[in-house]
Amino acid sequence: MNYLYRKIRSVFYLLLNIVVFIFLFPFKKKSNLEIGSHLKRDEVINYLLNEKFHKNGKYLEIGCDLNQTFSKIDNNNKTGIDPVRGGNLKLSSKEFFENYNKEFFDVVFIDGSHLIEDVYYDTVQALKNLNLGGYILLDDVLPNNNLNTFRKRLTLHSFQDAYKILFFISSLSFIDLYLLPCDHGMALIKLIDKPIVEQLEFDFSNINFDSYGEYDDWIEIWNNSSAIIDLSGFYLTDKVNNLTKWQFPESSAILNPNDYILVWCDEDQDQGNLHTNFKLSSSGEFLGFLYPDGFTFVDSISFPAQTQNISFGRLSNDEQEWVYLDPTPLSPNLELASIEKPIYIENFKLRNIYPNPFNKSLNIEISSKYLNDKLNIHIYSLKGSMVYSKSLTPFNSGDIKVNVEMDNTVASGIYFLKLITSNDEITRKISFIK
């Protein structure tokens, strides 16, 4: 499991399951093109070249593949680049813009790699090489369903995350932006003023939003086995006393071997099957993942305070330690690349619990920076009933050792130890054996 601190919800609401692609997005104005419901991209390109530029426009196509579009462009001044096949120059876009091209173009069609890093690079370079009043067209910016939006970023997949470019281009003040109902949605950019260099910088690292364009809490689950796993009936919860708080709907999450799934913790269950009835606390809390029986744990964690654009999880399945990570939704976890890792001042820390499992007496070692605070010690069964409670007042700063004596009437099993102060809360799993 892996989750990201909840960020401020976007003002954009990207609707992904629509047929007509003119929708609630902050565009400056509607297109004045005469368009129908079955536009083809070559028709749009030819219209711009022949009508707007009277057949004299210079045309650039990035990602020609088998010339499905390039061959249909009625223009004698056209350039097509593709590193593998198609076009008239066997080059990558990077090779072309850095070493080859010194021309300016009137119409640029971008249909190369759909990874956001590549789409962003191609768009920025095209803007720098576009005549004033010229147009850029970006293909496949509106996936037609959630699966195509949130699948793994495979290089040859038709969608990947090209749609994220809308967040970049919608913020530019020197362009007009339109959406056209071509293929899987095509963005049409018109350059109306000289590009502002400062606006050509954009960080896509925090662009991980649900199908409603909202930046919400999320949990990532990875199937590291060689078998297909159906999560129907499994549970997620943020409450020790309510282990069956949210259940995976039937057939909503089938994981192939080495596949990932994202669950959105946003309290927006009306937005789809993988939206829970709880959110995650940025200050830290308990999180449990349980089998369909409702009391056997697959995994659990009491995670610490979170920070923006940093995730928390395991680097591999073999490691028990949870660490701060670079967010990589639907991809393998990566250790933070930055040396400036988050620093958290722990005012209340659980240093040790021993022995664990225990048969009668449990020792708890803690440290605190608070003076005259109150410490509540609670132990809960898997069904949420409290089997032990103790309070320490006043609770002074420093290292403290507390002994817990379990009652003989309590049955052997797995329990949750919860330590609560006025400012902090820590939960740990313990085993009691008579």
CATH assignment of the domain containing 426: 2.60.40.3080
Pairing of strands 334-335, 311-313: unpaired
Q: Give the pLDDT confidence score for residue 35 in this predicted structure.
A: 39
The pLDDT score that the predictor gives to residue 343 is 42
User: Do 422 and 400 belong together in one domain?
Assistant: yes
Q: Is 83 exposed, middle or buried (0-12, 13-18, 19+ CB in 10 A)?
A: middle
| Domain final residue pick, 200, 231, 246 | 200
pLDDT, position 170: 82
> Is the overall model pTM greater than 0.75, yes or no?
no
Q: What is residue 67's predicted lDDT score, i.e. its pLDDT?
A: 93
Q: What is the CATH number of the domain that holds 68?
A: 3.40.50.150
Nearest in space to 222 (alpha carbons), one of 259, 275, 266, 172: 259
- The count of structural domains within the chain is 3
Q: Same structural domain for residues 174 and 67?
A: yes
252 in the same domain as 223? yes
Confidence at residue 8, expressed as pLDDT on a 0 to 100 scale: 23
| DSSP code string of 263-299 | EEEBS-GGG-TTB-S-B--TT-EEEEEE-TTSSSEEE
CA distances from 249 to 71, 230, 245, 261, 362 (A): 48, 10, 13, 14, 39
Q: What is the CATH number of the domain that holds 259?
A: 2.60.40
Residue 175's SS3 state is: strand
Instruction: Please check whether residues 386 and 293 belong to one and the same domain.
Output: no
The 78-81 sheet, strands edge to edge = 78-81, 59-62, 105-110, 130-138, 186-191, 175-180
Same domain, 418 and 311: no
Residue 193 falls within a domain, yes or no?
Answer: yes
pLDDT at 93: 93
The pLDDT, as a whole number, for residue 293 is 92
The verdict on residue 7 lying in a domain is no
- CA nearest to 286, candidates 409, 428, 103: 428
- pLDDT for res 210: 55
Confirm whether 205 is domain-assigned: no
Contact present, 53 and 44 (Cβ < 8 Å): no
Q: Which amino acid is at 24?
A: L
Residues 123 and 159 in one domain: yes
- 180 and 222 together in one domain: no
> In this structure, are 329 and 365 located in the same domain?
no
Residue 398 lies in a domain: yes
Range of the domain at 250: 217-335
Residue 202: exposure state from Cβ atoms within 10 A (0-12, 13-18, ≥19): middle
Residues 253 and 161 in one domain: no
**pLDDT averaged over consecutive 10-residue blocks of the chain (434 residues)?**
29 25 31 50 91 90 93 93 92 90 91 87 95 94 58 50 81 88 84 91 64 68 88 91 91 84 84 87 84 87 74 70 74 63 56 80 82 83 84 74 88 85 78 80
82 and 146 housed in the same domain: yes
Domain closes at, from 200, 233, 251: 200
Q: What is the pLDDT of residue 37?
A: 45
